[in-house]
Structure formats: structure tokens, C-alpha cells
Amino acid sequence: MNTNERFFALKISSIMAIRMFGLFMIFPLFSVYAFQYTNTTPYLIGLAIGIYGLTQALLQIPFAYLSDQIGRKPILIIGLIIFFIGSVVAANATDITHVIMGRALQGGGAISAVLMAFLADFVSPQQRAKANAFVGMQIGMAFMLSLLMGPFIAVNLGISGLFWVIAGLAIIALAIVITLPHIKPQIQYKICVVNIKQVLTANLLRLNFSIFTLHLILTCAFIIIPVLLVENNIIAIDLKDNWKLYFPVILLSFVGMLPIIILAEKYHKTKPMLLIAISILIISQILFYQTLLNYTTFFILLTLFFIAFNALEAMLPALVSKTANTEKRGLAMGFYSTAQFLGAFVGGIFGGWIYNTHGLNSVFLFTAFVTIIWWLIMLLSYNK
């Protein structure tokens, strides 16, 4: 990429990372600390973690379509203001239902597809895969940092303070958006059956299903992982020592994902690398279900999980960008992001329900089953 492309990609990835960092920060701690709110149940914990995915799923396509019509920048500003309001609502909550309302509003700032389309607008087709992979890696890094910083902030400022920090992050993201150019798209179109068919080709549908499943698994995992850490005495009950586990996992998982990304992008081994990454996910979920957990086994399994997650998070949007029709890229990214966040919502609902009715460990059995179905679909039908 040239200097302008790199700088623009850095701005877009920073906005995306800041926003996802804010959404993810409750993941490593909420299951443990949520009982300080009134009327809390395991099911409502799962709903609070995953509800942002429902509002994201409902609004990604409208926001993406509007960005194709009136420009990316105004939609980004609107989305981040909604995200800020949701963070303030959650920060003032005393009942779990108010947290759920705040998280739903946070998800209402559904700008992921708009950001990815904006990036594709300014990066040449030859460099687009690199730019999307860069953004995907930034999202993975934001998630990893959220695992480190979320518990640290909550221990020192409380859950309310955590949400106030997230509101502050929304303001920082808005400041970056203001520096972006506003260009009204030259080609406008109506949402109709023909246009929708153009962004729902067989391969795009499989990629949408892939991101749906990946975030379903992620949300399910982080309903139960914080509780498992405490129940198995792997870290302290207040989670302040979680960095001792997560920090080396972060480093190793990023190193571990690099060969997968390089083989997929540089040597054009996309399908084999997708299948390998999904296979690693399957192995991690089955072993989480069957293995006696201590620090060492938890460390190994969590590292495997995040090697696969980070690799897939980087590869999938790049594949969508390469596959989608140029004029309707915003709409294509809207469907992709809808699938992503719908997966988070479904993961929160099913993860919380399974935890509530069948016990903590049964969630891993569910995620292993879903991942095996995903692997078979990609093996038998994905063409790349």
C-alpha cells in the first residue's frame, strides 16, 4: 500500500478497533460480576453479553445501504453517537435489564459494514486484501486488549466506571471520523431482489455463515470462560490477575496465526487455511469439554482458540471484499456484518440458556457441534 492508503487504513482500523474494544471489554468479567445487578440470572447474563449483536444485525444493512446513498462519514457519526448514548445508559444501570438496554443501544451504532466499505473505497483493488487483513488483525488485537484491560478497569472503577470509559472511547472514535473525507457516492441504487441477489452469491453466503458461526462461538465461550477461570482457581476471583494468562496467550496466538495468513494470502491457499483454522477451533472446543482444566491446559486451549479466531477474523472480511460487487460493496458488507453480529446474539441467547439449563460445560459441547457443521459446509461447498 502507498502512504495515503496506509494512513487511511490506520484511521479506519483505529475507529473499528476502538469501538470493538468498547463492546468486548465486558466479555472477560461480566459473567462473574453481573450478580451485583438486581434480577440477574445466567440467561440474562448471556442476553446482556449478546444483545448488542441483535441490534447490530438489524441495522447493519440499513446503515450500509444509506452509506452507499449519502456517503460513509455522516453514517459513521450517527452510529458513534448512538454507541455513546448506549454506553451512558449502561454506566447508570442498577438492574440487569438496564444493562441489556444499554448494550442494545451500543449495538445500534452499527457501522462495521460502513467502515469496511469506506476502506475499500480508498484502497486499490490490488491492496484491498492486505488492508482488510490489517483491519481484521486490529480487531483481533482490540479483543485481546479488552481481555487485559476490561478486568483491570472494572477492579479499579467498577462496572459503571467501565461503561464510562467505553463512552469516552466513543468520543475518541468520533474525533477520528471528523478527520475523514466526505465524498458522496457517484452511483446510487435501490434495494431490490436483483441487487440483493448480487450480494448473496453462494460463496458470499458461505462467508456470511462463517462469520456468524465464529462470533456465535466467541460469545458462547466468554459467557463461561470467566466463570471457569474462577471455579478452577486458575486466577483470582476478582480477575485482577487475568493478564498473567491472557498476555502470553495474546502473543502466542498472533505468532501462531501468521503462517495461516501468509499461506492464505501470499500462496493462495485460502480454502485449506480456512479448513485448518476451523479444525483448530473444533479441537479447542472438544478439549475444553473433555479436559481437566488447570493453568497449563487452559493456557494451551485458549491459545489454540485464539490462533484460529484471529486468523479467521483477518481472512474472512478480505475474502468478502474480493468477492463482492464493487458498486454494492456497502450492501455486501452489510449482510456480512449482519451475519457476524447475529451470531453474537444467537451465541449469547443459546450460551446463556444452555448454561442455565444444562450446566456450564455443556456450552462447549454445543459450540463443538456447530463448528463441525461449519467445517463440513466449507469442505464440501466453498469454492476458492
Closest CA to 211 of 56, 328, 12, 363: 56
Provide the pLDDT for residue 9: 84
How large is the average pLDDT for residues 302-311? Answer: 91
Q: CA–CA separation, 316 vs 146, rounded Å?
A: 21
Residues 6+ away with beta carbon under 8 Å from 230: 32, 237, 239
Query: DSSP class of residue 267?
Result: S
Q: CA–CA separation, 178 vs 186, rounded Å?
A: 21
User: What is the number of helices (H) and of strands (E) in the chain?
Assistant: 14, 0
Residue 215: pLDDT band by 50, 70, 90 thresholds? very high
Residues 6+ away with beta carbon under 8 Å from 326: none
Taking phi first (over 0 means left), then psi (-120 to 50 degrees means alpha), and beta for anything else, what does residue 294 get?
beta
Query: DSSP class of residue 55?
Result: H
Asked which of 48-57, 136-145, 162-171 is least confident by mean pLDDT, the reply is 136-145
Residue 192: pLDDT band by 50, 70, 90 thresholds? low
How large is the average pLDDT for residues 36-59? Answer: 87
Split into its structural domains, the chain has a count of 1
pLDDT per residue over 363-384, tens digit each?
999 999 999 999 999 988 766 6
13: number of CA atoms within 13 Å, CB side?
22
How large is the average pLDDT for residues 74-93? Answer: 94
For the beta carbon of residue 186, count every other beta carbon within 10 angstroms.
6
Provide the pLDDT for residue 26: 84
How large is the average pLDDT for residues 7-12? Answer: 86
C-alpha cell at 105: 443501544
Asked which of 40-49, 196-205, 243-252 is least confident by mean pLDDT, the reply is 196-205
How large is the average pLDDT for residues 316-320? Answer: 80
Query: DSSP class of residue 241?
Result: T
Closest CA to 216 of 31, 349, 336: 349
Residue 67: pLDDT band by 50, 70, 90 thresholds? confident
Place of cell 444483545: 51
Q: CA–CA separation, 27 vs 30, rounded Å?
A: 6
Angle 344-350-355 from CA coordinates, rounded to 5°:
120
Contact indicator for 36, 159 with CB cutoff of 8 Å: yes
Residue 237: pLDDT band by 50, 70, 90 thresholds? very low
Q: How much of the chain, in percent, has pLDDT values that exceed 90?
A: 29
Provide the pLDDT for residue 190: 59
Place of cell 495468513: 261
Contact indicator for 367, 101 with CB cutoff of 8 Å: no
Q: What is the mean pLDDT of the chain?
A: 84
What pTM value is reported for the model?
0.79
The CATH number assigned to the domain holding 184 equals 1.20.1250.20
CA dihedral 142, 325, 60, 72 (to 10 degrees): 80
Query: What 3-state class would DSSP assign to 95?
Result: strand
Contact indicator for 283, 301 with CB cutoff of 8 Å: no
95: number of CA atoms within 13 Å, CB side?
4
The helix or strand, by DSSP H or E, that contains position 229, with its residue range, turns out to be: helix 202-231
> Residue 43: beta bridge partners?
none
Residue 163: pLDDT band by 50, 70, 90 thresholds? very high
Which residue has better confidence, 172 or 7?
172
pLDDT per residue over 104-143, tens digit each?
999 888 888 888 888 877 877 667 667 766 776 777 778 7
Provide the pLDDT for residue 234: 64
Which residue has better confidence, 144 or 195?
144
Provide the pLDDT for residue 266: 77
Which residue has better confidence, 372 or 57?
372
Residue 223: pLDDT band by 50, 70, 90 thresholds? confident
Which residue has better confidence, 163 or 139?
163
Provide the pLDDT for residue 95: 93
How large is the average pLDDT for residues 40-69? Answer: 85
Domain that holds residue 217: 3-381
